[in-house]
Amino acid sequence: MSIRHVHAGQVLLGEAGDELRAVLGSCVALTLWHPVRRIGAMCHVLLPRRGTVRREPADSDARFAEDALRLMVGRLREVGVEPGACVCKLFGGASVFASEAMNTGRDNVRAIKALLGRAGVELVSEHVEGTGHRVIRFVVETGDVWVSHRRRPVLLHRRQDAGA
């Protein structure tokens, strides 16, 4: 099995034999999987929107929700897969900051859901929001997505050297 990591701002296309992985905090990962063709895509979204400074979207920049979904749809269509025929799952969007006023995770989830609704893509499963971080493993052959979720931050102490 080929393990491929999907980093923030990336969209990767996979086929049977691939496992796509992402580590998420406030970021979200969206998976689209075609059950007959056994082809899937995963994006790793960093922010809900580009912000006040508008620029033309880059062909490989999936940091923002709208660009990520556009890139996923384009890549799937290049291989003859229509997104509406895919199984869609959403993950991540945790609250990682102390302030509720700035909840990027929640905003990421809302942005992706709104875009999916406009695109006519049905979300069949989600594991979103809350706290902590998630590790996502998307097995493209089966369409299964495994989630490891650590809800509490882990505090690591610096080792005390003897005699210091």
Give residue-wise pLDDT tens across range 118-134. Answer: 988 999 999 999 988 99
How confident is the model at residue 24, as a pLDDT?
96
The mean pLDDT value for 92-109 works out to 84
How confident is the model at residue 91, as a pLDDT?
97
| In the chain, % of residues over pLDDT 90 | 74
> Would you tell me which CATH number, out of the four given (3.40.50.10860, 3.30.1330.200, 3.40.50.300, 3.30.750.24), belongs to the domain 2-150?
3.30.1330.200
CA–CA separation, 37 and 60 (whole Å)? 24
The overall average pLDDT reported for the chain is: 89
How confident is the model at residue 53, as a pLDDT?
57
CA–CA separation, 104 and 24 (whole Å)? 12
Find how far residue 14's CA is from the centre of its chain.
Answer: 14
CA–CA separation, 100 and 135 (whole Å)? 23
CA-based angle 66:111:40, to the nearest 5?
A: 60
Measured in degrees and rounded to the nearest 5, phi and psi for residue 83 equal: -60, -30
Q: Where are the domains of the chain?
A: 2-150
The mean pLDDT value for 82-103 works out to 86
Active site residue 27: yes
Q: Quickly state the pLDDT bin for 161 (edges 50, 70, 90).
A: low
Q: Which of 27, 43, 86, 88 is catalytic?
A: 27
Q: Whose CA is closest to 65, among 43, 49, 76, 51?
A: 49
How confident is the model at residue 152, as a pLDDT?
61
